[in-house]
Structure 1
Amino acid sequence: MATLKDVAKLACVDVSTVSRALNNTSYVHPDTKARIFAAVKELSYQPNLLAKGLRQGKRNTIGVVIPRLIMTVFAEITQGIEEEARKHGYATLICHTEDSPKVEKECLNRLRNGFIDGLIIAGTGRNTRLVRDIHSSGLACTQIVRKQDSLISSVVVDYKACGYEAVRYLASKGCREIGLINGSMQLTPYRDRYEGYRKALAELGLSETSAVSPQPASVHSLEYGYDCTLELLGTNPKLDAIIAAADVQGIGALRALKEQGRRPEQIRVISLTGHIIGGMLETAMTSMEMPAHEIGVKAALMTIEEIDSPEEHKAGPRHLVYQSSLVEREST
Structure 2
Amino acid sequence: MTTLKDVAKLACVDVSTVSRALNNSAYVHPDTKARIMAAVKELSYQPNVLAKGLREGKRNTIGVVVPHLHLTVFAEITQGIEEAATKAGYATLICNTNDDPSIEKECLNRLRNGFVDGIIIAGTGHNKKLLKDIQVSGIAITQIMRRQNSDISCVSVDYKKSAYEATQYFAKKGCHNIGLINGSMKIPPYQERYEGYKKAIKELGLTETLAESNGAVNTLEYGYHCTKELLNKNPNLDAIIAAVDAQGIGALRVLKEEAIAVPDSIKLISLTGQEIGSVLQTTMTAMEIPAVDIGRQAAMMTIEDIKSKDKHVVQKNLIFSSKLVERESS
- TM-score under structure 2 length normalisation: 0.97
Q: Which residue of 1 aligns with 2:303?
A: 304
Q: Which residue of 2 aligns with 1:324?
A: 322
Q: Is the 8 A contact 1:183 1:190 kept in 2?
A: yes
Distance 2:318 2:33 in 1: 44
| Structure 1: tracts of 5 or more residues without a match | none
Q: Per-residue displacement from partner, 1:119-161 (whole Å, max 9, x unpaired)?
A: 1110000111111111111111110000011111001111111
Distance 1:24 1:204 in 2: 62
AA aligned to 1:156 is: S
AA aligned to 1:109 is: N
Q: Which residue of 2 aligns with 1:127?
A: 127
Q: Which residue of 1 aligns with 2:233?
A: 235
Matches within 5 A, 1:172-187: 172-187=172-187
Range with greater deviation from structure 2 (28-37 or 95-104): 28-37
Distance 1:206 1:326 in 2: 22
Q: Is the 8 A contact 1:71 1:275 kept in 2?
A: no
Q: Which residue of 1 aligns with 2:197?
A: 197
Q: Is the 8 A contact 1:135 1:141 kept in 2?
A: yes
Distance 2:36 2:176 in 1: 73
Distance 1:163 1:29 in 2: 60
Distance 1:42 1:74 in 2: 41
Matches within 5 A, 1:198-277: 198-215=198-215, 218-264=216-262, 265-277=264-276
Matches within 5 A, 1:65-214: 65-214=65-214
Q: Is the 8 A contact 1:2 1:44 kept in 2?
A: yes
Distance 1:31 1:290 in 2: 49
> Alpha-carbon deviation of 1:311?
2.4
Distance 2:324 2:232 in 1: 29
Identical positions, percent? 68
Count of residue correspondences = 329
Distance 2:303 2:98 in 1: 26
Q: Which residue of 1 aligns with 2:289?
A: 290
Q: Per-residue displacement from partner, 1:36-87 (whole Å, max 9, x unpaired)?
A: 2222222222111111001111111111111111111111111111111111
Distance 2:29 2:319 in 1: 48
Q: Is the 8 A contact 1:184 1:213 kept in 2?
A: no
CA RMSD of aligned residues (A): 1.1
Distance 2:158 2:41 in 1: 50
Distance 1:285 1:88 in 2: 36
> Alpha-carbon deviation of 1:209?
1.0
Q: Which residue of 2 aligns with 1:53?
A: 53
Distance 2:64 2:42 in 1: 37
